[in-house]
Amino acid sequence: SDLLVLHGPNLNLLGSREPEIYGATTLADINAQLTHMAQEAALSIDTLQSNAEYVLIDRIHAARLDGTRMILINPGAFTHTSVALRDALTGVALPFLEVHLSNVHAREPFRQHSYLSDVAKGVICGLGVHSYYLAMQYAITTLKA
């Protein structure tokens, strides 16, 4: 598909997980809205959530050959730990947007470093579900141009 949306560990718990930080919207709701936005723009979209690093990495590798044009990724805690995820994204050389619901810069010090940000096309954080939707809006604008 044109767009690949990846959600990392624990994001399957959205809606019930620390709602004061991550909000009340479920991952299914977010995916539904992203899918709606893509379809309105006549772009195809695939979404995947995994708690397993290798599943995300394997999906990124597959994106190299399946026509994916841009990746939106909320890497969850792998943001702050995973050289492997970074290497997968640079390895396939597809443009990607790093997305976070919370403002990682306003939280614990260990969340303030990302292994992905310097190789991302852009980073959006702190706007709750709007972080995803604004990233999608950018992706649509770019891919339709």
Q: Any binding-site annotation on 46? A: no
Least separation, in Å, of the C-beta of 101 and ligand DQA? 4
Question: Which is closer to ligand DQA, CB of 69 or CB of 107?
Answer: 107
- Told to judge if 54 belongs to the known catalytic residues of this protein, a careful annotator would answer no
Cα distance between residue 125 and residue 134, in whole Å = 10
- Told to judge if 105 belongs to the known catalytic residues of this protein, a careful annotator would answer no
Q: Any binding-site annotation on 102? A: yes
In 22-137, where do the E strands start and end?
45-49, 70-74, 96-100, 122-125
Q: Residues 52-91 vs ligand DQA: string with x where CB under 6 A?
A: ----------------------x-xx-x------------
* Total binding residues toward ligand DQA, as defined by CB under 6 A: 10
- Give me 129's structure tokens: 């579900």
Cα distance between residue 77 and residue 80, in whole Å = 6
Q: How far is CA 36 from the centre of its chain?
A: 16
How many residues make up the chain in this entry?
145
Residues making up the annotated binding site for substrate are: 74, 80, 87, 101-102, 111
Write out the residues near ligand DQA by the rule CB under 6 A.
Answer: 10, 74, 76-77, 79, 100-102, 104, 111
